[in-house]
Structure 1
Amino acid sequence: MKELIQEKVTIMMEHSNDYIKQHPLFRMHDIVIVDKKKKKKKGLETEINLINRFKQNEKLIYLYKGDEKKYESLLKVRNFFLPDYTIIPFQLPKNDAETIHLIYLLINQKNESYLKLLNSWSSTNKRLQNYTILHGKYNKIQQLQKKGKLITFGKNAIYTLWKEGKGKEKKISKGELDQVIAMVEEDSKNSSPIIVQELMSGDRRFYHSFEKMENLADTASIHVSLLRHIRGDD
């Protein structure tokens, strides 16, 4: 992965978890988590007021959850602030590892036009293959995380492997963690993987190699996004 250009930006993300703040390459940036469950009011005025609170940098990357209607609304907000302030709205990927790919691209190509960024991400997205690995008791783990309780399960837990295709996830296997990881690793040849490991505590670990993963017994979930190589890639 290329070294990021070190110019501070604001990253606003509609998500219930602040895992992006834990990524070592993003800590220098101003990251704002917008929990949609807590944001009761909707509309342009609400979005404009929210952005006004956090527009301390020249550019703001806004990763939103929603459909075409939400996108059109954010374009109106973007036009409201131009030319004095630049807002870059992109739909938030469902896969956490894919989100890392997207943020890398937007920060590295910060001087490109919005249209070029859209085209660049479209081309990159076509080369991605996403996987999700979930602990068999993942829903229970999430409930315990919210309550701040210590989570312990027995050994030999079963995990489910999901593969994304055409915008949908398909369950393709179940097994012990090392078994399902091996299946994804086999498919990662000729790819650059980003791996987001969620521990039982809710903390995240970020990797670019399966061999470097640690604390496997403490794993609640793993999100993987494989960027397929093309001819000419080093």
Structure 2
Amino acid sequence: MCSNSSANLTRRSIVRAAIVIIAQQGLDALTAGRLIEQASVSKGGLYHHFRTMAAVETEVLELLTQTVLQEVKSSEQPASTEAFFDLVEGQLFKCFSVDNLSIKALFGFLSASAHNKERQLIIRRFMDEIALIRLEQLKRVSPHLSHMELNAVVQAIASLQVGLVARYFLAEDLVSLRNYWACCRKTVVVMLEKCERRSRASLQQRAVGQLTNAE
């Protein structure tokens, strides 16, 4: 029991040390030597828990994405479309403005995974799960929209998020990021309002048709 507990503690220490290195110096700085020093473990201890540095990266990335997903899932259900966009905005800008090592490490992965298929798959799965959560949130405040319309709005929001992260990597200040978001948010809101008007018009036409048939 004690041996397992000690082993788990060592593994967690290695993962935490990797997060610190990536957050502070970038993913390219994550080497076995730096990790051994940061985690205060031996080379044998490191490779006892992880066969390769790629295995370390994978476990860290999985942990970071699952942590963010859990936070998004646990948020309160918005009561209106405006509250929905406020929720998305709040969660996004928390990432940009809070000095959080885990978020910085996740951004480190996002900026350095273009040519790594395994990391790309994890990130794609992460983005898809975020989109599904947004889809369910939006469906509850816009119940009359079709799945296709809801999905189009969610994909527009996803594209906006990618644009924000790209601008963040280009070292744009928070004011510029908020201005970009505000402009794009208006565009997506207009898109959603058009979908809702079409949906209401379609419902009215069906109702009129049913009344006509009944007569």
What TM-score does the superposition give when structure 2 sets the normalisation length? 0.26
Higher relative contact order (CA 8 A, sep 6+): 2
- Which structure has greater helix proportion? 2
What TM-score does the superposition give when structure 1 sets the normalisation length? 0.25
